[in-house]
Amino acid sequence: MELPLLEQVKAGDDAFHLTSSARNSERGLVQLCSNGVDVPLPPPPGPGEQYRFHFDMTKCIGCKCCVVACNEQNGNPADILWRRVGEIEGGTYPDTQRNYLSIGCNHCLEPTCMTGCPVDAYSKDGPTGIVRQNADICIGCQYCTWNCSYGVPQYSLERGVVGKCDMLCYGRLTEGQNPACVSACPEGAIRIEVVRTAEWREQYRTDANAPGMPSADDSLSTTRITLPVRMPRDSAKVDLNRLRPEHAHWPLVVMTVLTQLSVVAFSSIWLMQIFGAHLHRVAALVALMIGTVALGASTLHLGRPIQAVRALKMWRRSWLSREVLMFTLFANAATAYSAALWITLPGGFDLPLLRQMGVFQKLTAFLALLVRQINAMLPAHAVAVLGGLTVIFGIAGVGCSARLYLAPGRPGWNSPFTLLEFYLTAMLLGSAGANILSGAATFTQLAVIIAGIATIFAAGIKMIWLARSAAHERRGVFILLFTVLSNLLMLRVLLLSAGLLLVPFAQTRWMAAPIALLLIAGEFVSRYLFFVSVVPSNIATEYLAMEAA
């Protein structure tokens, strides 16, 4: 067999030209690259400007090089994706179109992740405009995952903190290197640009929105998206009709129900003290215990519970932080109030048991003297004031607690209905507790029934509103409640109805207690449904994804 090339090589001919890749000469500012040939970065942003992503949907082939390159750069495991690729489709075969979205973080002008963060873990970098997240400051409360309507921040179970795309700024951009996704894309669909923020505020609506993307109005996303010239008008994300119940967030179910119960229980106790001169010391202790359990449970929601106290920091900006502040004040006031209720009793800590144990006689005598001194020093209405403070902080706390759920990333929660629901829970459970304290007096029985009817009414109106909403996430809540979660919904209705129906038949305090328990159970189920039925706002996901990112 003749092998002409081999002959040439043996004869010393230059048969093989070693071609250097001409394209490699396009290096510009870039010294190093991990993947691909880097395109030059734009010059750094000046005042009134920031970096931002440009995503060209006409070039993207949905290959996910960007996703894997990002994971490799950041050392993330496969279940955390700081850049995600989603699919949108529309049209009728054979005139269908499948297009792809590749989204990291949108480095918004008004980042909702930052506004809501209780510990100031987010910051919008001055020179570059990049929204940076600090994993060491983060306490893992995951509030940002509710606030971002794009689902950008991702909670890492392994680390107990949240993380997200940060355009690898102070690491790569300042060295003149592109982020990993820009370098890796074989089609050059992702680029870094510089944008003038004032101008962008005027024109973002046309370029920041796309099918499969939540509205850019929520946080003023800066990512510019180039859409294909002709897209089918019905283009939508492929997972539009995939509805799955969300996590239950059990610590929060417990916390919200029990704080609401505790707050109105204290309100009832206080009211009965003022208007009825009854001192329900034991009830106060019980309510205090419930409140403590509730607030303790809430720290279990954090990835880093031991850092919980830092959540007080951002009360000026974050409703979550305000809730923590109000409930902390409530807890302190409630403790003082409960203690005061005990102290104002004649005799104070003069418990018979201790008396009989002669060893402690001197101690109890000293304590009794102390108590009498304090009693003498206290202004007459000090106890009532403490009670009043408890109630005010408590009601404010419930309000903040409800208000924080009005998050852009959770449309089903983002309405005044949430505030109504939380307060109605408080009224219902509080009246049921008061009903026990009053020994099933008529006015407390009425209060329970009115609160119960109001709850049913409000729930009914909310269902209608959800079912008829223009937002698919809200219609999704309705669908979940009446299909996958319908058994639980029925249970909730049964518990509430049973409790209400039994109210007139309970004439003593001991018969009022089971009713309260029924109603509490009903509220737990209701709150559980609140958490699991919400449909998050998010970018499109892949067609066969087991779970949306």
Partner 1 sequence: MSLLNWVMRKSGLDNLSAKYSYGVDPVLGFTSTRKHADKWVKSTCGYCSVGCGMELGVSKGKVVSVRGDPDHPVNLGKLCPKGLSEHYTIDAEDRAKYPLLRKNNELTRVGWDEAVETMVERFRAVQLKYGPDSAGVISTGQLLTEEFYALGKLVQLGFGTRNYDGNTTLCMSTAVSGYKRSFGSDGPPGAYADLETADVILLIGANVAENHPILCTRLEGNLGKTLIVTDPRVTKTAMMADIYIPLKPRSDLALINAMLRIVIDEDLYDKKYVENHTTGFEELRASLEAYTLEYAAKITGLTPELIHRTALLYGKAKAAFIGWTMGVNHSTKGTETVNAINNLALITGNIGRAGASPFSITGQCNAMGTREAGFASSLPGYRKFESEVDREELARLWNIPVERIPSSRGLAYPDIIEAAVAGKIRALWIIGTNPLVSFPNIDVLKHALGNLDFLVVQDGFHPTPTTELANLVLPAAIWGEKEGTYTNSERRASKANAAVAPPAEARSDFEIFLAVAERLGCREELFPGWTAPADAFEE
| Cβ nearer to partner 1, comparing 20 with 487 | 20
| Cβ nearer to partner 1, comparing 306 with 377 | 306
Least distance in angstroms from the C-beta of 34 to partner 1: 5
Strand, helix or coil for residue 462: helix
Least distance in angstroms from the C-beta of 31 to partner 1: 8
Least distance in angstroms from the C-beta of 61 to partner 1: 4
| Cβ nearer to partner 1, comparing 301 with 475 | 301
Least distance in angstroms from the C-beta of 449 to partner 1: 44
Least distance in angstroms from the C-beta of 1 to partner 1: 7
**Cβ-based burial of 161 (10 A; exposed 0-12, middle 13-18, buried ≥19):** buried
Q: Which residues bind partner 1 (CB under 8 A)?
A: 1, 19-21, 23-24, 31-37, 59, 61-65, 67-69, 71-75, 93-94, 96-100, 135-136, 138-140, 158-161, 163, 168, 171-172, 175, 177, 180, 184, 186-188, 302-307
Measure the CA angle with vertex 471, ends 468 and 477; round to 5°: 70
Least distance in angstroms from the C-beta of 73 to partner 1: 5
Q: What is the DSSP string of 389-402?
A: HHHHHHHHHHHHHH
| Cβ nearer to partner 1, comparing 306 with 359 | 306
- The residue to which tokens 């109000």 are assigned: 326
Tokens (6 digits) for 365: 């005598």
In angstroms, rounded to a whole number, what is the distance separating the alpha carbons of residues 31 and 36? 12
| Cβ nearer to partner 1, comparing 55 with 524 | 55
In angstroms, rounded to a whole number, what is the distance separating the alpha carbons of residues 105 and 228? 22
CA distances from 102 to 53, 84, 93, 181, 460 (A): 10, 6, 24, 10, 40
- Which positions ≥6 away from 27 have C-beta within 8 Å? 37, 38, 40
| Cβ nearer to partner 1, comparing 168 with 272 | 168
User: End-to-end distance of the chain based on CA atoms, in angstroms?
Assistant: 59
Nearest CA among 472, 471, 526, 531 for reference residue 497:
526
Q: Which residues pair with 102 in a beta bridge?
A: 85
| Cβ nearer to partner 1, comparing 39 with 427 | 39
Least distance in angstroms from the C-beta of 103 to partner 1: 17
